[in-house]
Amino acid sequence: MNTEIEALCQNRVFAHFYQICQIPHGSRDEKALSDSITRWARSIGLEAEQDEVYNVLIHKPASPGYEAAPPVLLQAHMDMVCEKAEGVAHDFTKDPIQWVVRGDELSTGGRTTLGADDGIGVALAMAVLEDDTLAHPPLDALFTVCEEEDFTGAERFAPEKLRSARLINLDHTEDNVVVCGSCGGMRADFLRDVDWKPIPTGWTAWRLSVGGLRGGHSGDDIHRGRGNANILLARLLLAAEQESDLLLAEIRGGSFRLAIPREAEALLWLPPEKAAAVQVKCAALENTFRREMPVTGERLKVTFAPAEAPRRGTVPGPVLDALTLLPDGIFQMDEAIPGQVDTSDNLGEVYLDEDGLRVVTEIRSAQPSLRTYLYQKMERLAALLGGCCQCSVLYPSWEFRLHSPLRQTYSDAYQALCGEPPAMTTVHAGLEVGYFFDKRHDLDAIAIGPNCRDFHSPGETLEISSVKKVYRCLCAALAALGE
């Protein structure tokens, strides 16, 4: 631990976050972190229980004089999205997350995701739980698993254990904004068989790839105009198809449906005399892409180079039909909230291999009816393209409620500390709060968190001063909720 990190960890929130970052905790790999938090809670005299999916529920009695107040639930998820930059050797199943401190910014230096989503939320709650100087009502803290994959933790959490009707979710990314609702969504997979053909004599294999994109969160960043590597690869292949006969051997694009794809590549076979023309066309498109993305495209790179490939190929038409016609990006804006996305789709992962073509997408919508309609459009398109669609990981929205005493109490505490009230909004991202509303219909909930940028990408950063600000506001709100 270097001097800057050691100094930062004098703050208890960052001390907890640092320890979280030493333990692998990707989705479906949270047991070690769950065990560690459970041991920690019991070691400081708190009641802690771990369920069959490794959710952790911790109880802390009220501070003296606050025993009669209704309890408050603090909630965050333990798992993180595991993304790394091209060429970085990092094993998320065993390697700790490396910190880089630059001024007020905490990151990994662009190597991997930091895991502030939502490790910092867990750390904020742990700091509250261990501080016996705070004034607060009875507290529960729930740390869930698999939020980034299929919401297993929130879905499987036993409703009878939800004793509080006041919930503060700690999974937001702007310290001056209180979230009051979130979208629902689903995973939708497009599947299609392909016909494999033998490779003509004399044809050569090439790797066509696009990388260096910024990526980001498939909900929070879907409106920012950042390139989707899978879409750009399809455009490159369209250009190659115009120049030459070709056969596709493999495609691998994106790595997680909840992240806007940063890299994608295809292995293809070409007549040798056509390779130079394809290369020229791809180089021209690289310049076009950079012009289209003047802010985030400065590191974009297209490569076209000889490669080894399986000696099989499929004609590009059906594959490109799917990649160019399946929806990606904004489907409908929110009529009531200017600038807010209502419904979108992220074409997050593409696989062409011996099993055929698979495209993995994430549909998000504040309106279940629009989510269903977008999936129905994909189903019908899939049928026209000779494939099919499969739906999974369906999660509920958290609907905005006009009246919220919890929201008002937090706003008052924030204004007293910061001199102005926070903004109120709903977000185009899935939060676990929707599941808890389904379990307890009288729930009053908000979501808060410190300033974070570029979730779900190696460029993820966390603002240090903002973490401290959110902790002060959270503690002040808890004191007010106990009065």
pLDDT in tens, 330-343: 999 988 788 889 99
pTM of the model: 0.83
Q: pLDDT (tens digit, 9 = 90+) per residue, 62-104?
A: 999 999 999 999 999 999 999 999 899 999 999 999 999 999 9
CB 52 within 8 A of CB 171: no
CB 235 within 8 A of CB 282: no
Segment 443-471 shows an average pLDDT of 96
Q: What's the chain's length in residues?
A: 483
Residues labelled catalytic: 79, 147
pLDDT at 116: 97
Segment 108-130 shows an average pLDDT of 97
Extract the runs of DSSP E, i.e. beta strands, from 325-422: 329-333, 341-353, 356-365, 388-395
Q: pLDDT (tens digit, 9 = 90+) per residue, 192-241?
A: 999 999 999 999 999 999 999 999 989 889 999 999 999 999 999 999 99
pLDDT at 337: 81
**pLDDT tops 90 at residue 456:** no
Q: Report residue 194 as tokens.
A: 């392909």
**pLDDT tops 90 at residue 393:** no
Q: pLDDT (tens digit, 9 = 90+) per residue, 247-297?
A: 999 999 998 898 999 999 999 999 999 999 999 999 999 999 999 999 999
Mention every residue, 6+ apart, whose C-beta is less than 8 A from residue 70: 137, 138, 164, 165, 166
pLDDT at 402: 85
**pLDDT tops 90 at residue 180:** yes
pLDDT at 117: 94
Mean pLDDT of the chain: 95
Q: Return d(Cα 47, Cα 38) in angstroms, integer.
A: 9
Split at pLDDT 50, 70, 90, the class of 60 is very high
Q: How far is CA 156 from CA 23, 56, 63, 169, 267, in A?
A: 23, 12, 30, 17, 41
Percent above pLDDT 90 for the chain: 89
Segment 28-51 shows an average pLDDT of 98
Q: In 3D, which of 144, 94, 73, 142 has the Cα closest to residue 430?
A: 144
First to last CA, the chain: 41
**pLDDT tops 90 at residue 145:** yes
Strand partners for 392:
187
**pLDDT tops 80 at residue 1:** no
Q: In 3D, which of 44, 29, 40 has the Cα closest to residue 81?
A: 29
Q: In 3D, which of 344, 431, 406, 471 has the Cα closest to residue 17?
A: 471
